Amino acid sequence: RAGYYWPTMQEDTKEHVKKCDKCQRHGDMHLTPPNELKSLSSPWPFTWWGMDILGPFTTGLAQKRYLIVGVDYFTKWIEAEPLAEITSFSVLRFFKRDILCRFGIPQAVVTDKGTRFTDKKFQEFLVIINTKQHFTSVEHPQRNGQAEAANRVILRGLKRRLDENKKKWVEELQNVLWAYRTTPHSTTGETPFRMLYGT
């Protein structure tokens, strides 16, 4: 069994982050005043998903400019896919391929009222599979706080990695997701990877 021994790893990592210019410039900043939130919780993994769309970004590989994001409310696992354009078809394809086929039929999906999420085909599909859709309002996007938090994680991670070369965001996305998935989450105390795979 191969391994390593690094007894001061946590302290060394904290020191490294304190000295890292990018980490300090693009780190977590809690400047938003707290609001009273209506908590949405999931009783077990993959029953509640939050979905959102980010972009437009600087045009990247294969003309990708947008990012569709899904986050599981229980494990905090993030799925994300770069897209050249956001269409109703691409939203439904992402939902089927990256959420439904990998994690099963969710009980509920939380989205904003954007036209891609209110599209007739998307809503009809949710009815067919018996998945409820809950909407956030423009005034209270924090109702989909899980997706909003996932968006911040992705944007912050990309900023840290890209600096001036913003066109490379598509290539760096998987590294950002890996870093997030293997970092303990403050609310669960576990990594999303461990919550999903148990190891």
CATH number of the domain enclosing 97: 3.30.420.10
What angle do the packed helices 169-181 and 145-162 form, to 10 degrees?
Answer: 120
Residue 27, domain member (yes or no): no
pLDDT top residue among 148 and 98:
98
Tokens 């609310």, residue located? 187
Interval 62-120: pLDDT, tens: 999 999 999 999 999 999 999 999 999 999 999 999 999 999 999 999 999 999 999 99
Residue 1, domain member (yes or no): no
Residue 183, domain member (yes or no): yes
The Cα–Cα gap between 157 and 38 comes to 27
Instruction: Kindly state the average pLDDT of the residues 173-186.
Output: 94
Residue 152, domain member (yes or no): yes
Number of compact structural domains in the chain? 1
Domain range enclosing 167 = 46-197
The 10 Å Cβ neighbour count of residue 163 is 12
The Cα–Cα gap between 107 and 105 comes to 7
Residue 8, domain member (yes or no): no
The Cα–Cα gap between 148 and 159 comes to 16
- How is residue 11 annotated by DSSP? H
Report the predicted TM-score, pTM, of the whole model to 2 decimal places.
0.77
Residue 77, domain member (yes or no): yes
Residue 133, domain member (yes or no): yes
